Structure 1
C-alpha cells in the first residue's frame, strides 16, 4: 500500500508538471520567431539584398528585383536598418524598422512597418513598397538629385578676392552634332587644337554616349587661346563646339599657383580617401590651399529624395513633365562654402611673379611683414615647374647664413667693430676653404666684423669656428625663427634645419651656410625679418582655417620642418642684438656687395648676399641668394642655378623693392 501511495503521488506531480509546461507553452506567442525573422529582414534591407528572405505572397527573388528597382535612383551607399519593435497577435504581427541613409553627408532617417504573418510555423513579411520608404506606392521608385554648393572664394590681404568663379569655355566634341561624320577624326582635330593627346581624346569620344559632349580642354574665356576658337574655325570640324561655364580661378593662370592650387574633377584617389564625401564627376581642390581646405571651400551640397512614378505619367513630355518630378520625401538645401582668408597681397604677389617671369632655373621670392609675420608674396618662378620652391624648397643658404653666425658671435661678446681674421684661405682637416673669386684683396687680414660681413669673407667666419659651437649656431638660428615647425602658416612650409652638432669640416661648412644647413626662401625671409623686428617672426598665411588637417584626398605636397619641437624659443633675439645685426646688414649696402640697393626709395635697406655651391660639377654650380629688410618688409630672393647672389638675385630684389615702394 505504501508503494502504491508513493506511485500515486509521483504521478500527480508529473501531471502537474505537464499542465505547467503546457501553460508556459501557451504563453510563448511566437515572439522569438517573429523577432528572429525581423532581424533577418532588417539585415537584408541593410544590404539591399532580400533574395534569401521569406515573403508572404511573393518569393524572395521577385521581392529582391522590386527592391533594386526602387533604390536604383539612389547613390550606391546602403542604409543602416534596425528593428525598433516587434508586436505579435496570434499568427500576425508587426515589425517597426528604422532606416538611416547617408546622402551627400546628410542623414535621411525614417521608420517603416512590416506586416508579419505566420504560416506553417514560419514567419514572413508582406512585400509592399512602403516597407522601403514611407507611403511608397506600387508604381513608385526613389530618386535623388544633388545640388552643388557654391564654392567659396580665397581672399587675400584686406579681403581682396584672389580666387573666385570666372568665365571659361570648354572645347570639345558634341556627338549629337556629328551628323554621321567620323567621331574619331573630329576628335583628333579638336585634340590638336587643344594640344592634348589625339589618340586618348578620340578614345574618350568614341566611348561616350551618342548625345554626349566630351570636353578636350577648359580655357579662360578671356585668354588668347579661347578667343582664337572662332565659329568659322570650329565649323570646319564636325561636332566641334565650345560650351561656356565658370570655374574658381585666380586672376591669371600662374598667380600664386603653387600656393593656391587649382580646382578640377576629382581623382580616383580622392574619391577613395573621401569616404563617400566625393564621387566621380565631382570637382574639388587639386593641390595647394584648394586641396588643403577643400571641405571648407566646397561647402555642403544639397540633396533631395523624391518618390517618382516608375514610368512617365500619361501625356507628360520632357517639355511638360507634369507629375514626373514626384513627391519630395527628404530635402537638405546646399550650404555654401566659407571663404578662406589669407595674407597674400595681390599687388606684391603679381610684382614678385613678374620679377621672376624670365628666370629659367627654379626660383622664388618671398616677402613678409615682420611686425605680424604676414606672408605678403610667395612666388615660385616658371623654372620651378609648379613646385612650391618659395615655401618648401630646401637649399644651402650660403653666406646669408652669416646673419646667424654673427648673432652667435655677438652673444659671445663681439660687436660690429670687433676684429676678425680674414685670410686668403682656411684649412680644416685637410680641406681648404676660399673666399669668392672677386673678393677684394684690400679686405684680407685683420678687419672689423662689419667689413667681413659686408664683403662676405668666408675665412673670417670659418676661422671663428672654435669660438662658436655648432650648438650655438643652432640656438642662434632658432632665435631668428629658423629651424622651427611651421604650424603658424596653417599650410605646408619649411623653416629650415640647422644641426645642433657637427665637427671638423662639417662645422666649418655650417659657418658659411653649407654642409647640412638648409633653408627655404620662406625661412630666409623669416631670418631677415626677425632682425628687422627685433624679435622672432612667426610667419602666417591662412587666417581662418576651419580645417587644420589636410582634407580627404588632398594632394598638396607637405614638407614639415625636421625640428619637431613646438616649445617656445629658449632665447629669442633681443632688440639690442637686432641693432647690431642691422648695423651689419646696412654695411652690405653702404660698403659691400649690395651698393645697388642704396637708391631704393623709402626706409634704408639692409641686406645680405649669399652664394652656395651644390652638385658635383667642376667648377660647382651655385645657388644665388639675397635677403633684405626695408621698413616693415623682409624679402628673400633665390635662384637655384644662379651664379653669384649679388649678380643674379640682387637685381631681382631691387626691382621688387622699387616696385613695392611705388
Structure 2
C-alpha cells in the first residue's frame, strides 16, 4: 500500500542526488575556468600583456625637404628632385623571385641588386612595402604603369632625392651627402640622428647642415602587435629647410672650370672689397650625384686611388710654394722697414753667392741694374735675394702673417689647411736647428718651406687691391652697409702701395712684363706670375736651365691678379700643378676669367 511517508523519503533521495550532480558540474566548470585563467594570467600573462601594450602607438618620422642652394642671382645649384621607386607588398605579390624575373625586362636589375632585395625580403614582414628599384626613368615608369594590373601588390612610389643639376660644376664647393656616422653625431649633437639618416659630408652641404635639413615631422600611428597599421591618430607636417643663397656666380664658376679643364689645380675668384667668394674651382672634379646614385666597387676604387686626388678641394687643401707671387710681400716688408725705396737699385748678373752656395736668377744672363718696380715687372730673383739679406726672415714673416699667410682664412669649410710661413722660431721649434741665411734668400722668392693655398693667395692679392684689408672669405652675401670688419688690417703707406701696384701693373702692361701677352681685353689689371719648384733644377755649366721631361717633376705654375686698377672688383688666383711657368700656363687662365667677367658685367 502506497503511503505518504514513503513518497516523501523518495523525494529526499532524488533531491540529494540532483544536488550532488549539480555541485559536481559546478566544481568541474570552476576548475576548468580557473585553469584557463591560470594559464592566461600566470603562464602566458607576460606574452599577452606585451601584445596588448604593443597594440598602441608608433611614431613614424616624416622627412623634411632639404633647402635648395642657389647662386648669387638665384640660379639653382642644388635642388630636390622626384625619385620614382618600384615597391611591392610581398603578401600580395607572392614569390619575390618570380616577380623579379617578370619585372626584370623593364628595370634591368644587376645580380648584386637582386641579391640585396631577396635578402631584405627575408628580413622584413610580408605586409610591409619592399623596395625593388629606385631612380626609375620616365620610360621605365611608363612601361611598368601600363602593365601594373599584371603585377599584384606592385606600385610606383615617389620620394625626393638630392640633385645637383650642374653635375661636376662647383662640386667641391657644394659638397655631397652621405649616411650619418659617429663623427657626424659628435659634430651635430643637437640633431637626433637615426641609423641610416643622410647628412652633409663636405662643402656647403655640411657647412650649413643645421639650416638646410629643416625640421622633420611625424605620424602618430596605432599599430597592432605585429606592426600592421590600424589607423593614423595624429600628424605633424615636416618643415622644409630654407633656401640658401650663396655669393657664387655659377656662370663665372663654370667658365673658370672650363679654363682649368684638363689640368690639375685650383682657381679662386674673390670680391676684394668684402671677401665674397665668386668662384672656387678645384680640378679634377667629381659628380656629387654619384654619391646619391651609389658607386660600384670599381668606380669607388678608381675615385679614391686617382693620383690627381679629385676628392680633395685644392683651393683650400692644396698647399704650394707661392713662388714669385710672394715677392710682393717681400717688397712691402722692405719698404715698410726702410730697407729700400723707389730709388733703390740692385745689380743682377744672374746669380748671387751666399755661404759658398750659388743662388741663381731665373734669367741666367741677369737683369742688370734694376729697381723694385722693374724687379716685380720682370720677376728678378737676385733683387729679392739682396733685399731679403738686409730685411731678415722675421720681418718677412711678420708681413706675410699680416697679409693672411701661414694661418687658415676662417672660411668655414672643413679641412682648410693653414699653409706655412717659416721663421727663426718655427725652425728651432720644429727641427731644433738655427735658421741659415741662405734659407732667407729662397724664402724671399717663395721657395723653401713657405707654403700657401690658392685661397690664401687670393686674399693676399685682394689686400694689395683694397689697400691692406684682409677679409674672412665668405659664401654668404653681404650688403654695402653690413660688410664685416677685416680680420687683418695692414696699414700700407700710400706711397709704398702705389710703388708695388705700379710694378704689378707692369707685369701685364709693361714692355718687359712676364704676363704682358695675357693682359685682359677690356680692363687694365695688376698681377704677379709665379713658378714654384717641385725638385731642384738642373742647369748647364752656362747656368741655363735643363728642361724637365718628367711631368711629376715639372714646376707648379701660379698667377694672382686683380682688376680694374681703379675700384677693383675681381681678384683671382690660379695654381696649376706641374704646369711649368706661371706666365705661359696660369696667366692665360686668369685672362679668360677676367675677359668673361667684364664682358658680362661691364667695367664700371
CA distance in 2, matches of 1:480, 1:577: 15
Deviation digits for residues 147-177 of structure 1, max 9, x if unmatched? 1112112233245443222356679999969
Q: Structure 1 174/650 Cα, relative in aligned 2: closer, same or farther at 3 Å?
A: farther
Partner of 1:646: 583
Residue of structure 2 aligned with 1:260, choices 171, 174, 189: 174
Superposed, which structure 2 residues align to 1:417-428 within 5 Å?
A: 417-428=343-354
Q: Structure 1 647/309 Cα, relative in aligned 2: closer, same or farther at 3 Å?
A: same
Residue of structure 2 aligned with 1:581, choices 488, 493, 500: 500
With the length of structure 1 as denominator, give the TM-score of the two structures. 0.64
Residue of structure 1 aligned with 2:259, choices 350, 355, 368: 355
CA distance in 2, matches of 1:475, 1:174: 70
Is 1:659 aligned with 2:599?
A: no
Is 1:212 aligned with 2:130?
A: yes
Superposed, which structure 2 residues align to 1:279-428 within 5 Å?
A: 279-308=194-223, 310=225, 324-328=230-234, 332-359=236-263, 362-382=264-284, 383-413=308-338, 414-428=340-354
Q: CA deviation at 1:282?
A: 2.6
Q: Secondary structure at the residue paired with 2:161?
A: strand
Q: Give the root-mean-square deviation of aligned CA atoms.
A: 4.0
CA distance in 2, matches of 1:367, 1:467: 35
Q: CA deviation at 1:67?
A: 4.0
Q: Is the 2:270–2:278 contact (alpha carbons within 8 Å) kept by the matching residues of 1?
A: yes
CA distance in 1, matches of 2:486, 2:166: 40
Q: CA deviation at 1:410?
A: 1.4
Superposed, which structure 2 residues align to 1:549-588 within 5 Å?
A: 569=488, 571-588=490-507
Q: Secondary structure at the residue paired with 2:526?
A: strand
Q: CA deviation at 1:68?
A: 7.2
Q: Is the 1:173–1:215 contact (alpha carbons within 8 Å) kept by the matching residues of 2?
A: no
CA distance in 2, matches of 1:358, 1:537: 32
Q: Structure 1 490/643 Cα, relative in aligned 2: closer, same or farther at 3 Å?
A: closer
Q: Secondary structure at the residue paired with 2:517?
A: helix
Q: CA deviation at 1:268?
A: 7.0
Q: Secondary structure at the residue paired with 2:352?
A: strand
Q: Is the 1:429–1:505 contact (alpha carbons within 8 Å) kept by the matching residues of 2?
A: yes
Partner of 1:467: 390
Q: Is the 1:421–1:463 contact (alpha carbons within 8 Å) kept by the matching residues of 2?
A: no
Superposed, which structure 2 residues align to 1:22-101 within 5 Å?
A: 58=41, 62-63=45-46, 66-67=49-50, 70-71=53-54
CA distance in 2, matches of 1:637, 1:661: 18
Q: Is the 1:481–1:530 contact (alpha carbons within 8 Å) kept by the matching residues of 2?
A: no
The size of the alignment, in residue pairs, is: 485
CA distance in 2, matches of 1:416, 1:273: 53
Q: Structure 1 332/427 Cα, relative in aligned 2: closer, same or farther at 3 Å?
A: farther
Partner of 2:518: 597
Deviation digits for residues 431-480 of structure 1, max 9, x if unmatched? 332223xx374x52221222221111222211222211111111211332
CA distance in 2, matches of 1:186, 1:451: 72
Structure 1, unmatched stretches of 5+, are 1-56, 72-139, 192-197, 220-225, 313-317, 546-565
CA distance in 2, matches of 1:234, 1:370: 56
By percentage of residues, which structure has more helix?
Answer: 2
Is 1:510 aligned with 2:443?
A: yes
Q: Structure 1 185/163 Cα, relative in aligned 2: closer, same or farther at 3 Å?
A: closer
Partner of 1:613: 533
Q: Secondary structure at the residue paired with 1:600?
A: coil
Deviation digits for residues 307-356 of structure 1, max 9, x if unmatched? 445589xxxxx9xx9xx31434xx54422223334321222111111212
Is 1:635 aligned with 2:572?
A: yes
Q: CA deviation at 1:411?
A: 1.3
Q: CA deviation at 1:650?
A: 1.5
Q: CA deviation at 1:647?
A: 1.1
Q: Structure 1 169/379 Cα, relative in aligned 2: closer, same or farther at 3 Å?
A: farther
Q: CA deviation at 1:580?
A: 1.8
Q: Is the 2:65–2:80 contact (alpha carbons within 8 Å) kept by the matching residues of 1?
A: no
Partner of 2:457: 524
Q: Structure 1 68/427 Cα, relative in aligned 2: closer, same or farther at 3 Å?
A: farther
Residue of structure 1 aligned with 2:421, choices 498, 504, 507: 498
Q: Secondary structure at the residue paired with 2:252?
A: helix
Partner of 1:52: none
CA distance in 2, matches of 1:533, 1:460: 26
Partner of 2:470: 537
Q: Is the 1:173–1:190 contact (alpha carbons within 8 Å) kept by the matching residues of 2?
A: no
Q: CA deviation at 1:653?
A: 1.3
Q: Is the 1:349–1:379 contact (alpha carbons within 8 Å) kept by the matching residues of 2?
A: yes
